[in-house]
Copies of this chain bind each other. A is one copy, B any other.
């Protein structure tokens, strides 16, 4: 659309262009489909897929997306997002505000592991597309990781769980869907190869975690890594809402992180007089 032809209302409306939704009085279309035709014929995960990808998924693809979304909904009040949702719910704000404060901290450290894992897998897949074998691509990518980064290989290990109970089940299901031809199985193979090679190098098993397992599924389903951050937000929003709702049914007000009668440890400058008031008793 050439800019110089745009004046007034057309210019203003073009400033807000989108390919997602079309509306006129009495009409709402999502990605070209009349919304009343979608309602009751596509599941909620399928609606999510349509909105994000622009096309309807098969029922199986939607089911697998729903499986991944449901697996990551909560990890308890020691996760900062969950604690924040609960504290916010005691401060006299709406439940949407409590959810927003919490979702807002699903950043690179608290919410980014799945995206990082899928990028990692994608690097290996890209090398394989160039003719490298799976084993060689995994080895090269791990060499690069250990040279440049620190910490866990994305998608492996867990601070709390020796084995993350969600991961094996998610991989089992991914293999089932691959056996039925719904997905190819490539990302499951890549994740398994990474896990095996890291085990070999470290001399101990560092198993796949929820971020790696959901990254496998999102990769199998064709979602790009940055978009999977948004999928994690949709998923974790469920736990955030559940905890905010539960807390809102209690009578606590202005809930802090520690029991009310506790304080915090002060490590700063000891008490000192304000300049010029050294002789004043406090």
Q: Are B74 and A21 in contact (CB under 8 A)?
A: yes
Among B25, B87, B246, B280, the residue within 8 A (CB) of A160 is B25
Stretch of A90-98, A125-133, A192-200 lying at the B interface: A90-98
Q: Are A20 and B242 in contact (CB under 8 A)?
A: yes
- Count A interface residues, CB 8 Å: 145
Interface residues in A207-254 by Cβ distance below 8 A to B read 226-227, 229-230, 233-234, 237-239, 241-246, 248, 253-254
A282 partner residues in chain B, CB cutoff 8 A: 34, 37
**A70-B38 contact given A7-B8, A160-B23, CB 8 Å threshold:** yes
A163 to chain B, nearest CB (A): 6
Per-residue 0/1 for A39-59: is the Cβ within 8 Å of any B Cβ (1 yes, 0 no)?
Answer: 111111111100110101000
Per-residue 0/1 for A112-141: is the Cβ within 8 Å of any B Cβ (1 yes, 0 no)?
Answer: 100000000000000000000000000000
Among B12, B111, B169, the residue within 8 A (CB) of A40 is B169
**A267-B52 contact given A80-B91, A255-B80, CB 8 Å threshold:** no
Q: Within the assembled complex, what's the spacing in Å between the Cα atoms of A24 and B282?
A: 14
Most B Cβ at <10 Å: residue of A12, A24, A54, A109: A12
Q: Are B268 and A245 in contact (CB under 8 A)?
A: no
Instruction: Confirm or deny: A27 has a beta carbon within 8 angstroms of a beta carbon on chain B.
Output: yes
Per-residue 0/1 for A65-108: is the Cβ within 8 Å of any B Cβ (1 yes, 0 no)?
Answer: 11101110111111111011011101111111111111111111
Instruction: Confirm or deny: A184 has a beta carbon within 8 angstroms of a beta carbon on chain B.
Output: no
Q: Within the assembled complex, what's the spacing in Å between the Cα atoms of A277 and B95?
A: 36
**A16-B93 contact given A32-B271, A36-B169, A70-B47, CB 8 Å threshold:** no
Among B23, B106, B263, the residue within 8 A (CB) of A91 is B106
Q: Which chain B residue has the least Cβ–Cβ distance from A163?
A: B26
A83 partner residues in chain B, CB cutoff 8 A: 16, 87, 256-257
A264 to chain B, nearest CB (A): 4
A66 partner residues in chain B, CB cutoff 8 A: 43-44
A162 to chain B, nearest CB (A): 5
* 25 examples of A-B residue contacts, CB within 8 angstroms: A13-B263, A16-B77, A18-B246, A18-B265, A21-B74, A26-B162, A27-B165, A28-B161, A33-B274, A35-B71, A44-B70, A52-B238, A77-B256, A79-B254, A80-B87, A84-B84, A91-B107, A91-B108, A94-B107, A95-B233, A98-B105, A100-B103, A100-B104, A159-B260, A227-B245
| A residues adjacent to B (C-beta < 8 A) | 1, 6-48, 51-52, 54, 56, 63, 65-67, 69-71, 73-81, 83-84, 86-88, 90-112, 159-163, 165-166, 168-170, 172-173, 226-227, 229-230, 233-234, 237-239, 241-246, 248, 253-260, 262-275, 277, 280, 282
